[in-house]
Amino acid sequence: MFFLLLLAAVVRLRLRCFKEIPTGFQNAIEAAVEAFDNFAARTLGERFSYLFPWFFMAFAFILSSSLFSIVGLRAPTADWTTTAALAFATFVFMFFLGIRYRKGSYLRSFFEPHPIFFPMNLLGELAKPVALSFRLFGNVLSGTIILTLYYALTPYFVQLGPPALLHGFFDVLFGGLQTYIFVIISLMYIKIAADSNW
Q: How far apart are CA 3 and CA 68, in angstroms?
A: 10
Provide the terminal-to-terminal Cα distance of the chain, rounded to the nearest Å. Answer: 35
**Binding range to other proteins, per CB under 8 A, among 80-88, 94-102, 110-118, 170-178:** 80-88
Q: Is 132 in the site for other proteins (CB under 8 A)?
A: no
Rounded-to-integer distance, Cα 93 and Cα 106, Å: 13
Give the span between the Cα atoms of 60 and 1, in whole angstroms: 9
By CB under 8 A, tell whether 156 contacts other proteins.
yes
In the bound state with other proteins, the residue whose beta carbon lies nearer, of 76 and 143, is 76
* Closest CB to other proteins among residues 93, 106: 93
Which is nearest to 48 in space by CA: 180, 197, 190, 179? 190
Closer to other proteins by CB, 106 or 137: give it.
Answer: 137
Separation between Cα atoms, residue 107 and residue 25, nearest integer Å: 47
Calpha distance 45→30 (Å, rounded): 20
Selected from 17, 71, 116, 153, the binder of other proteins by CB under 8 A is 153
Please report how close the Cβ of residue 124 comes to other proteins at its closest, in angstroms. 20
**Is residue 118 near other proteins by the rule CB under 8 A?**
no
Q: Does residue 95 interact with other proteins by CB under 8 A?
A: no
Nearer to other proteins among residue 53 and residue 119 (C-beta): 53
Are the C-beta atoms of residues 136 and 182 closer than 8 Å to each other? Answer: yes
Alpha-carbon distance values, 86 to 24, 77, 110 (Å): 32, 10, 24
| Buried residues in 54-83 as b, exposed as e (16+ CB within 10 A) | ebbebbbbbbbbbbbbbeeeebbbbbbebb
**What track of x and - describes contact with other proteins for positions 56 through 75 (by CB under 8 A)?**
xxx-xx--------------
Contacting residue, 79, 95, 135, 191, with other proteins by CB under 8 A: 79
Residues near other proteins (CB under 8 A), total: 45
Residues near other proteins (CB under 8 A) are 1, 4-5, 7-9, 11-12, 15, 18, 20, 29-30, 33-34, 37, 52-54, 56-58, 60-61, 76, 79-82, 84-86, 88-89, 137, 141, 148-149, 151-157
